[in-house]
Amino acid sequence: MRLMVQKFVILLVGSAIVMPAGYLAAAELTPAEIIKTRQEHLKDMGASMKAIVDQVKTGKPDVSIATDAAKKIAAYSRELPKWFPKGTGDEAGIKTAAKPEIWAQPDDFQAAAEKLPPEADKLVEAAATGDAAMIGAQLQATGKACQGCHKVFRVPPQEH
């Protein structure tokens, strides 16, 4: 009986180690899929920024709309650096606004990207107040953090 239990435990532990690796291999995305997903997330972030701008322009922002949009931006901001694995630039053969500097200067890219989450978190806090002036001011600060990457690591819109 004891030998049977030991064999079962070994089989169980071995499966626990091998199965996730198989799932990860099956879940790996192609460069094209990564770029498409990245572009969708970035467009969604832009749409969320626009939703907040639209709320600020009303003078009486809908707290729910502004806060939901700000939370989405904050969540994405933490994931953003992971959206640019090696092999997902121009070499993938897909049109992308990501400059090669992202991969040539990874520490600089990471440092620029790390400036966004704290500003996005402040945007969530500002949105929750419903104060249009406060939200607008923090929206500008968050936008400035976005531009920290855009200026160096993104091809300007008219060029891509």
52 near 70, Cβ under 8 Å? Answer: yes
Which residue's structure tokens are 């607008």?
Answer: 136
Residue pLDDT, tens place only, 142-151: 999 999 999 9
Q: What CATH number should be reported for the domain whose range is 30-159? A: 1.20.120.10
At 113-129, the pLDDT tens digits run 999 999 999 999 999 99
Q: Measured between alpha carbons, how far is 38 from 41 in angstroms, rounded to an integer?
A: 5
pTM of the model: 0.80
Write out pLDDT tens, residues 78-110: 999 999 999 999 999 999 999 999 999 999 999
Smallest CA-to-CA distance from 112 within 72, 141, 75, 147 is with: 147
Query: Which tens digit of pLDDT belongs to each residue from 18-28?
Result: 434 333 344 68
CA atoms within 13 A on the CB side of 7: 4
What are the boundaries of each domain within the chain? 30-159
**What is the secondary structure of the chain as a DSSP string?**
-HHHHHHHHHHHHHHHHHHHHHHHHHHPPPHHHHHHHHHHHHHHHHHHHHHHHHHHHHSS--HHHHHHHHHHHHHHHHHGGGG--TT-SGGGSS---B-THHHHSHHHHHHHHTTHHHHHHHHHHHHHHT-HHHHHHHHHHHHHHHHHHHHHHB--GGG-
- Please give the Cα distance from 67 to 49 (Å, whole number): 11
